[in-house]
Amino acid sequence: MGDTDTAAGGPAGGRDRDDDGRARNARPRDGLGRPLPYGSAGVERQPEGIVRTPEETVAEARALLAAGKPFHAHEVFEDAWKSGPEHERALWRGMAQLAVGLTHSARGNTTGGARLLRRGAGAVEAWASGPGEDRPYGVDLAGLADWARELAGRVEHGTDPVDAAAEAPRLGG
């Protein structure tokens, strides 16, 4: 991942760059995706741009959610959203919004968390309105939308961040 100015602890030239020269933050991240100082021990990041089957996407995201890593699950869904067939992009985008909504809720961002949970719930619900599309890849979209709206209500009225692993949807399977 690009050159690093070890004396300053940050990137040489002021911006992190990947091997192709694109801007990419190389700071380590915690389990909820928050950047940590350079040189800190963070959790392993999800590789970006991985093309998975839908079943692999759901299985990988399920494991990450169960481990309390909704930010990382969001990245898995984002890969599916960006690389999947056009007719499924709204589904994966909605799933990514749900995962990042849980991320914000766990970070204590009640407004952003609740908003993204509701937006994701609406997206997966809208996608499921097509014939035979209510349980794609074994995921109960109606149940997922209900989970998201219920959590959004609790997040708005709570005072503490939620436990990402305890509150994560199980995605079936």
**Residue 77 structure tokens:** 């869904």
> pLDDT category, 124, cuts 50, 70, 90?
very high
Mean pLDDT of the chain: 85
Position 84 pLDDT exceeds 60: yes
Q: Report how far residue 96's alpha carbon sits from residue 77's, in angstroms, rounded to the nearest whole number.
A: 5
Q: Which of 66-70, 90-94, 126-130, 155-159 has the lowest mean pLDDT?
A: 126-130
The percent of residues above 90 in pLDDT, for the chain, comes to: 57
**Spatial CB neighbours of 147, under 8 Å, sequence gap ≥ 6:** 169
Position 21 pLDDT exceeds 80: no
Strands (E), the chain: 4-5, 10-11
Q: Report how far residue 91's alpha carbon sits from residue 133's, in angstroms, rounded to the nearest whole number.
A: 10
Position 8 pLDDT exceeds 50: no
Position 11 pLDDT exceeds 90: no
Residue ranges of the alpha helices (H) in the chain?
A: 54-66, 70-83, 89-107, 110-128, 141-157, 164-167
Q: What is the mean pLDDT of residues 102-131?
A: 92
pLDDT at 5: 39
* Residue 149, Cβ density class (10 Å: 0-12 exposed, 13-18 middle, ≥19 buried): middle
Query: What are the domain boundaries of the chain?
Result: 1-44, 54-167
Name which residue leads in pLDDT, 2 or 149. Answer: 149
Task: Give me the amino acid identity at 93.
Answer: R
Q: Which fold has domain 54-167?
A: Hyaluronidase domain-like (1.10.3450)
